[in-house]
Amino acid sequence: MKIQREIVLPGEGQSFKLFSPSLKNFFYWHYHPEYELVYVEATAGIRHVGQHVSGYTGSDLVLIGPNIPHLNFDYGLQTAYRQVVVQLKEDFLGDAFRHTPEFREIEDLFARAAFGLAFGERCRAEVGEELKALQGLDHFEQLIALLRIFRRLAREPEAERLNEIDTSVKTFLNDKIRMSSVYEYIHRRYDQAPDVNEIAAQVHLSTAAFCRYFKRQTRMTFTDFVNQYRIGQAKTLLLQDRSVSEVCYSVGIGSLSYFNKLFRQVTGENPSAFKKRHLKGL
């Protein structure tokens, strides 16, 4: 499956689209000219926005600018999750942003969203609750609440810029490689021994050409990406209260010491501490 252009239709009587998609078994690598605000609650998942690839734990809140290719945030999830998505055109309020000083902060937020923005834990918790509450409001109240949310995000100091360069779809339209094939291969083989030569052959590239392509698309090597995927799967298993050693071998890492080192590199803490911290809050 190549990159797809999503057609976004606002709800009846609305200037934006508010919905809760469920696509966990579908690789949806897509783009659209609308802005998108995504909130997801899940044990652990993948965040792939433009060239940025990382994982999230517990929840994620991301604002994505127009025409930035991104993967559905529930891709591959094996545990229960909840998701709220808002999609809206840049001019969903007509010329109001350009002519209304009170909207200047939100206008600046939307400009920064061209690179993708991810928000900190406290902001995720507060805005996540507000987004979940939107679905119980009438259309006018939804719009007012959404503007308050955008003002909150505009003032949030813990906003991570996900991409350093323009990653809008114009840089991806001529891509003949199917990223879904790469994800599918890694998902099928992450607990064994993913072979870069094998996946390169599957997408009809030499190994050297595939490595250059993959690094350009994700800003990491194939090996680093596989290891990050393994750690993402390991988080899910740890939160199912499995032992660290069991999880280590379940995700295809043969050395417990290397697993601990790799887990710390990716998450900033060792697997035992991660498990204790998250299970304590359940």
Where residue 252 sits, what CATH number does that domain have?
A: 1.10.10.60
Q: Does the pLDDT of residue 204 top 70, yes or no?
A: yes
200 and 154 assigned to the same domain: no
- Residue finishing a domain among 117, 135, 161: 161
Confidence of residue 4 (pLDDT cuts 50, 70, 90): confident
Closest CA to 149 of 58, 44, 38: 38
Residues 94 and 120 occupy one common structural domain:
yes
Which of 72, 55, 52, 105 has the alpha carbon at shortest distance from 6? Answer: 72
Cα distances from 145 to residues 17, 88, 134, 141, 230, in angstroms, run 14, 14, 7, 6, 38
Range with the poorest average pLDDT among 20-24, 40-44, 113-117, 214-218: 214-218
Residue 282 has pLDDT above 70, yes or no: no
Q: Look at residue 196 and tell me if it is in a domain.
A: yes
- Rg of the chain over CA atoms, in angstroms? 20
120 pLDDT above the threshold of 60: yes
Same-domain check for residues 206 and 109: no
Same domain, 115 and 210: no
User: What is the reported pLDDT for 171?
Assistant: 58
Q: What is the mean pLDDT of the chain?
A: 90
169 in a structural domain: no
Question: What is the domain range of residue 134?
Answer: 4-161
Which two structure tokens, joined as six digits, stand for 187? 């998902």
Q: Is residue 168 part of a domain?
A: no
- How do residues 65-81 score in pLDDT, each as one tens digit? 999 999 999 998 888 89
Indicate whether 180 and 229 sit together in one domain.
yes
Whether 10 and 148 share a structural domain: yes
pLDDT value, residue 177: 65
Q: Kindly state whether residues 39 and 133 are assigned to the same domain.
A: yes
Instruction: List, for residues 223-251, the tens digit of each pLDDT value.
Output: 999 999 999 899 989 988 899 999 999 99
Contact yes or no for 192/153 (Cβ under 8 A): no
Number of residues that this document lists for the chain:
282
Determine how β-strand 29-31 pairs with β-strand 70-71.
antiparallel
Q: What is the pLDDT of residue 209?
A: 92
> Are 84 and 209 found together in one domain?
no
Q: E strands, the chain, where?
A: 4-5, 16-19, 29-31, 35-49, 52-64, 70-71, 82-88, 117-119, 159-161
Going by pLDDT thresholds of 50, 70 and 90, the confidence category of residue 193 is confident
Is the domain of 77 the same as that of 195?
no
Number of domains in the chain: 2
200: left (phi over 0), alpha (psi -120 to 50) or beta: alpha
Q: Does 209 share its domain with 153?
A: no
Q: Is the pTM above the cut of 0.85?
A: no
What is the number of other CB atoms lying within 10 angstroms of the CB of residue 279?
12
In a domain, 166, yes or no: no
Q: Is the pLDDT of residue 172 over 60?
A: no
How confident is the model at residue 13, as a pLDDT? 86
Same domain flag for 140 and 222: no
> Among residues 118, 136, 161, which one ends one of the domains?
161
Residues 117 and 181 in one domain: no
Q: Note whether residue 170 is domain-resident.
A: no
